[in-house]
Structure 1
Amino acid sequence: MSAMTFSHVALNCRDLAATERFYQQHLGFQLVRRIDLEDSSIVFLRLGDVRLELFQSQEDRPDEHSDGPARVGVRHLAFQVDDLDTALSRLGSAAQLTLGPLDFDSFIPGWRSAWLTDPDGRVIEISQGYADDPAPSSSLSKEAQP
């Protein structure tokens, strides 16, 4: 059996071009593929090992569809930066903050985050200073245990 790796997050967009520009201009994504269909396009963007697959939203699409439910979404997309204040400053008016910046020093010294929205209203978290726990607890919550 081959190893599984993360592939992408697919997003439905109100304005495909505006969402593509936002992720390219403000978050550093690069266009890596565009598939033109009869009445729309599918856009693939990449930042390091992270890929986004952007679709034009179809208002008349039913809630359930073979490639995923239309209304179930992503809680937020998160990005790591060296300096949160500088990143927010660069975003300028594109940074419609919904929360923060907040400090999480009680969990990880130097960890700060802010949340903003993209052109479709999806929440984007931008953080500085997050670090994985070198020795995380292996216990699972009761709900997650087999």
Structure 2
Amino acid sequence: MSAPADVNVRWAHVGLNCRDQKATEEFYSRWFGFSRARVVEADGSRVVFLRSGPVYLELFPTEAEPAFDTVNDGPDNPGAARHLAFQVDDVDAFLAAADGELNVTLGPLAFDEFIPGWKTVWVSDPDGLVIEVSQGYTDQSAEELRTYA
């Protein structure tokens, strides 16, 4: 089932709860190329929108404790995002540039048996959200996908 033909549906953003908005903004700006796109202040609270190309992150302040442990490739709790994911040209070069400043939760791991050249590492942001950074992912052909119908 798809959206009605007269409705233009497109990606909007991911909202993240942050214990330290400044640290979270710096993390996504430094490591993933985001920059501030908008700040909204209402009722004594600030919401910060970050943008990288067509992708937006919306940062909400919170004082709540993390609901999940930061491990491996993210929580498997229903209704929770497992992780965010970004593509790079070279995972090893990305990690070398980080020079040990990122908290690696899993990997790097190679998945050549599925896609030649597919390699992934998982790191966590300042609030413990797991971020997948991978290289080499490609979609299956339409013919291959039909075998899973």
Q: Same fold (TM over 0.5)?
A: yes
CA RMSD of aligned residues (A): 1.7
Q: CA deviation at 1:122?
A: 0.2
Residue identity matched to 2:124: T
Residues 119 and 135 in structure 2, CA contact (< 8 A), matched pair in contact too:
yes
Q: Which residue of structure 2 lines up, in the alignment, with residue 66 of structure 1? A: none
| Cα displacement string for residues 85-115 of structure 1 (whole angstroms, at most 9, x for unaligned residues) | 1111222333100000000000000000000
Q: Alignment partner for residue 106 of structure 1, among 113, 137, 148?
A: 113
Q: Secondary structure at the match of 2:10?
A: coil
Deviation at 1:120, TM superposition (A): 0.2
Distance in 2 of aligned mates of 1:89 and 1:6: 31
Q: For structure 1, which runs of at least 5 residues remain unmatched after alignment?
A: 61-71, 141-146
Matched, 1:33 2:38: yes
Is 1:7–2:12 an aligned residue pair? yes
How far 1:50 moved relative to its partner? 1.0
Q: Bigger CA drift: 36-45 or 109-118? A: 36-45
| Structure 1 partner of 2:145 | 137
Counterpart position of 1:54: 59
The answer for the alignment partner of 1:64 in structure 2 is: none
User: What TM-score, normalized to structure 2?
Assistant: 0.80
Higher deviation after alignment, 96-105 or 28-37: 28-37
1:75 matches 2:75:
no
**2:19 touches 2:64 (CA, 8 Å); kept in 1?**
no
Query: 2:84 and 2:119 mapped to 1: Cα distance?
Result: 16
Count of residue pairs the alignment pairs up: 129
